[in-house]
Every structure is written in structure tokens, then in C-alpha cells.
């Protein structure tokens, strides 16, 4: 009897309980379901927003910088092309200061000017092979050019020929033609000319050799001054963007800045004197570069240090240039060879052996390393340069007959973040 009541009681209490539980479970799944729906909706909204954002990012960035940051860094589309029409070693090259156009000289005794066939279209397509048809102009010299530079206004090209040591100018005409210019002098330096640098204001140019001397010339080909730097051997020289300083780096650790003075109205040369000494490197300085805002100098040294200096100082009042900061090389075994600021001064590009590393100056962080674009792994980069618009980087390897072009990594401007 008692058992019957107990069972009845259990039945009465438990069955509705189970039902209630079931109902609750069902409601729970329903709740889950609607949450999932909501999160799906918000996810698609988020993606839509992202797409919208990317679209506006693309549209709002200048044409030359199109391409998402992520695409640039992750999909490795950093090889922009190879210029390969020279039949012997490329000896020098120079970018046009504004256009995506490049001049190159080779031991095959030709000089080529390459106009970018992709100029208006897919600038960031992964590999664009520049063909010989892209080279619209070709000069045959009886001699080969070993150094060249392009004036800041894009109107003038200077060459130094290797055997005769003749320095010649060419005028760049509107229809992309080169015409023999007025300058044709012979360098009187005893050893061969290592490089030539042109004043952005076109008042003078500098030639230097492998020893420790450099010569300053006016544009008519007269020697203004001849200087011994006392740096044992010249590694690299550079002219500041305002043409006021000539920097020299050599076998000794100190880098010198020489100020060149001209009469204001007549552009008559007054004097050249050493005004700033960048002290601190403990071995030969291999490469140096001025920032485009004229306030900094970057140096790379045999002691495997990368330094950024503030040269915006009152040197006339004996104020010394200061070391702003140093950057860590990406590899302890890398031989640092050259350095350059990007045209907007946001990036510092450093060449070490066969690689180019990019540092973001704002954060002082390494952002990427470019290497092995065209199979030249293991071959040291001899010379490199940013294009005038900052989108491309060109490199030539020791002994190689082609020029590699790389897409410069795109970083969003910090003012927009």
C-alpha cells in the first residue's frame, strides 16, 4: 500500500519535472541558435565593414601606394621585376628623381634608360619582367661608364667613363631622348673614379676615388677644390638634399661632414671646410645616407652597427652632432654594406650581404627582409637605390649583368592610425 503511494508521488513530482527540464533544454538550444545567428550576422557585418575599410584605405591612399599592407607583407609579392638586357656586368645605375625610370651602365659599353612599362597599371603585380622593348634608348660608348648620376630635376645625367676617365654630361630631352651635353672633361685623379655625386642645386659635382681624395668640380668642368679626407680609403660619399654638406665615410670610424659655401647671387665658389665629425664607430664606415629632411645621417659600419645621427646642430657654436639611436642588425653575421632613407623618411633600408632589411624609424623595429628575388642568393649587393616615388627599390649584385627591382613594403601612415 505504502509502495503504491510512494510510486504515485514520485510519478506526480518527477514526470512534470522531466518535462520542465526538457522544455528548458529546448529553450536553451533555441537561445543558442539565435545567439549563433546574431554572431553570424555580426561577423558578416564585420567583414563587410573590413571590406569597406580596405576599400576606403585603397581609395584614400595615393595611387602609387595602392595595395593592402597585409598583401604586401604576407604574399611575398616583393619582386617587382628584373631588367636584363645588358650582356656584361652592370657597373652603375640611377633612378630618375620623380618618374619610375632608370638609367644603367654596363661593362658591355652600353647605357640604357628603362621606362617602366607598367607605370599606369598593375604596379604591384608579383613579377613583371621588364623586356628589352622597355629600353627605349641606348647609347653606345667607345668606353664603358663606371659611375653615373641623375640630376634632381631629371634634366641632366653625368657619366664617368672607366678607361679614359672622361666625365660627360647628357641632357634628357622631353621626348625621352638623350643628347650630348656641354660637359666633357677628364678626371685628373690618379686612381679610377669610384663614384660621382651631383649637387641637387646643380652648382657642383663631386668625384672620388678608392684612396682618400675627392674633387669638387663646377658644372663647366673646372676643379673647384681637391681634398684629402685623411680617412685612408674612401668607402662612400654623399651630398645633403640642400647641397650644403658633403659627407665622407672611409676606412676610419669617423664620418666627416664638409660644408661647401657659394656666393648667394653669383654662385661663385667660396670655400669647403670640415664642420662636423660623427665620432663613435669603431671600424670602417661602409655606407652613409642623408635623410630627406636634411636633419639626420644614417651610417652602417664594419663593426656591425647601424647608427642614426642628428646633424641639425649649431656646429658654428661648436655643438657636436649627436647619436640619436642605434639599430640592431637582423643577423649577427651580416656584413652591413649600404644604407638609405625612403623618400618619405619613414623607412630605413639597410643592405647586408645579399639582403635588404627595412626598419620603421618611428618604432625602430625591423619590419621585413627582402632576399632572393631573382636567385641571387649568396651574392653581395653592390649598389641599391629607392625610386624617386619610393615604391621601388633597385639592386645590383657583384658581377651580375641584371638589375633586380623590389616592391618597397607599404606601411600605413601613422597619422592615419
Ligand X SMILES: *[C@@H]1O[C@H](CO)[C@@H](O)[C@H](O)[C@H]1NC(C)=O
Interface residues toward ligand X, by CB under 6 A = 190-191, 210-211, 331, 333-335, 353
Q: What are phi and psi of 34, to 5 degrees?
A: -70, -30
Determine the Cα–Cα distance for residues 280 and 128; give it in Å rounded to an integer.
43
Min dist CB 329 to ligand X, Å, is: 9
Closer by beta carbon to ligand X, 312 or else 331: 331
Q: What are phi and psi of 56, to 5 degrees?
A: -65, -35
Q: Using alpha carbons, select from 274, 227, 226 the residue that is nearest to residue 254.
A: 274
CB atoms within 10 A of CB 382: 18
Closer by beta carbon to ligand X, 123 or else 194: 194
Min dist CB 206 to ligand X, Å, is: 17
Burial 66-105 (b: 16+ CB within 10 A, else e): ebbeeebeeeeebbbbbbbbbeebbbbbbbbbeebbbbbb
Closer by beta carbon to ligand X, 126 or else 191: 191
Closer by beta carbon to ligand X, 135 or else 229: 229
Strand partners of residue 309: 297, 323
Question: Which run of H or of E encompasses 70?
Answer: helix 69-74
Closer by beta carbon to ligand X, 85 or else 147: 147
Determine the Cα–Cα distance for residues 32 and 40; give it in Å rounded to an integer.
12
Determine the Cα–Cα distance for residues 72 and 393; give it in Å rounded to an integer.
14
Min dist CB 190 to ligand X, Å, is: 4
Closer by beta carbon to ligand X, 52 or else 191: 191
Min dist CB 168 to ligand X, Å, is: 23
Determine the Cα–Cα distance for residues 36 and 232; give it in Å rounded to an integer.
73
Closer by beta carbon to ligand X, 178 or else 334: 334
Min dist CB 252 to ligand X, Å, is: 16
Distance from CA of residue 360 to its chain's centroid?
Answer: 11
Min dist CB 276 to ligand X, Å, is: 26
Sign, CA torsion 20/21/25/31:
positive
Closer by beta carbon to ligand X, 113 or else 336: 336
Min dist CB 400 to ligand X, Å, is: 16
Strand partners of residue 218: 204
Closer by beta carbon to ligand X, 155 or else 211: 211
Give the CA distances from residue 4 to residues 7, 12, 18, in Å, rounded to whole numbers and listed in that order: 5, 12, 21
- Cβ contacts of 260 within 8 Å, gap of 6 or more: 204, 216, 243, 244, 245, 246, 269, 271, 272
Closer by beta carbon to ligand X, 219 or else 370: 370
Min dist CB 337 to ligand X, Å, is: 9
Three-state SS for 2? helix
Q: What are phi and psi of 22, to 5 degrees?
A: -60, -45
Min dist CB 356 to ligand X, Å, is: 13
Closer by beta carbon to ligand X, 266 or else 333: 333
Q: Strands 204-209 and 193-198, how do they pair? A: antiparallel
Rg of the chain taking only CA atoms, in angstroms: 31
- Cβ contacts of 66 within 8 Å, gap of 6 or more: 58, 123, 124
Q: Supply 97's cell numbers.
A: 628623381
Min dist CB 116 to ligand X, Å, is: 31
Min dist CB 332 to ligand X, Å, is: 8
Amino acid at each position: 500500500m505504502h509502495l503504491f503511494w510512494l510510486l504515485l508521488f514520485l510519478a506526480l513530482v518527477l514526470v512534470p519535472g522531466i518535462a520542465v527540464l526538457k522544455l528548458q533544454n529546448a529553450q536553451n538550444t533555441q537561445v543558442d541558435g539565435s545567439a549563433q545567428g546574431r554572431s553570424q550576422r555580426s561577423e558578416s557585418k564585420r567583414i563587410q565593414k573590413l571590406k569597406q575599410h580596405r576599400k576606403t584605405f585603397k581609395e584614400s591612399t595615393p595611387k602609387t601606394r595602392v595595395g593592402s599592407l597585409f598583401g604586401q607583407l604576407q604574399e611575398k609579392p616583393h619582386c617587382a621585376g628584373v631588367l636584363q638586357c645588358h650582356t656584361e656586368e652592370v657597373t652603375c645605375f640611377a633612378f630618375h628623381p620623380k618618374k619610375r625610370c632608370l638609367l644603367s651602365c654596363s661593362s658591355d659599353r652600353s647605357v640604357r634608360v628603362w621606362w617602366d612599362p607598367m607605370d599606369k597599371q598593375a604596379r604591384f603585380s608579383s613579377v613583371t619582367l621588364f623586356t628589352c622593348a622597355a629600353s627605349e634608348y641606348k647609347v653606345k660608348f667607345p668606353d664603358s661608364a663606371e659611375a653615373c648620376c641623375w640630376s634632381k630635376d631629371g634634366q641632366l645625367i653625368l657619366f664617368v667613363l672607366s678607361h679614359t676617365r672622361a666625365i660627360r654630361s647628357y641632357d634628357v630631352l622631353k621626348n625621352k631622348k638623350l643628347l650630348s651635353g656641354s660637359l666633357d672633361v677628364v678626371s685628373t685623379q690618379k686612381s679610377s673614379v669610384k663614384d660621382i655625386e651631383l649637387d641637387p642645386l646643380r652648382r657642383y659635382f663631386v668625384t672620388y676615388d678608392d684612396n682618400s681624395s675627392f674633387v669638387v668640380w663646377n658644372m663647366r668642368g673646372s676643379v673647384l677644390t681637391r681634398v684629402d679626407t685623411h680617412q685612408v680609403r674612401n668607402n662612400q660619399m654623399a651630398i645633403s638634399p640642400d647641397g650644403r654638406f658633403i659627407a665622407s665615410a672611409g676606412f676610419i670610424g669617423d664620418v666627416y661632414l664638409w660644408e661647401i659655401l657659394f656666393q648667394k647671387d653669383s654662385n661663385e665658389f667660396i670655400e669647403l671646410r670640415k664642420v662636423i665629425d660623427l665620432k663613435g664607430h669603431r671600424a670602417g664606415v661602409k655606407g652613409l645616407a642623408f635623410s630627406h629632411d636634411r636633419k639626420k645621417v644614417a651610417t652602417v659600419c664594419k663593426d656591425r652597427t647601424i647608427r642614426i645621427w642628428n646633424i641639425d646642430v649649431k656646429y658654428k657654436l661648436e655643438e657636436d652632432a649627436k647619436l640619436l639611436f642605434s639599430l640592431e642588425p637582423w643577423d649577427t653575421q651580416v656584413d652591413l654594406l649600404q644604407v638609405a632613407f625612403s623618400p618619405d623618411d619613414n623607412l630605413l633600408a639597410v643592405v647586408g650581404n645579399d639582403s635588404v632589411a627595412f626598419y620603421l624609424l618611428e618604432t625602430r623595429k625591423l619590419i621585413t627582409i627582402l632576399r632572393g628575388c631573382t636567385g641571387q642568393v649568396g651574392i653581395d649587393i653592390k649598389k641599391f637605390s629607392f625610386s624617386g616615388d619610393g615604391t621601388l627599390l633597385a639592386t645590383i649584385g657583384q658581377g651580375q649583368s641584371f638589375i633586380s627591382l623590389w616592391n618597397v613594403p607599404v606601411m600605413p601612415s601613422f597619422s592615419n592610425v
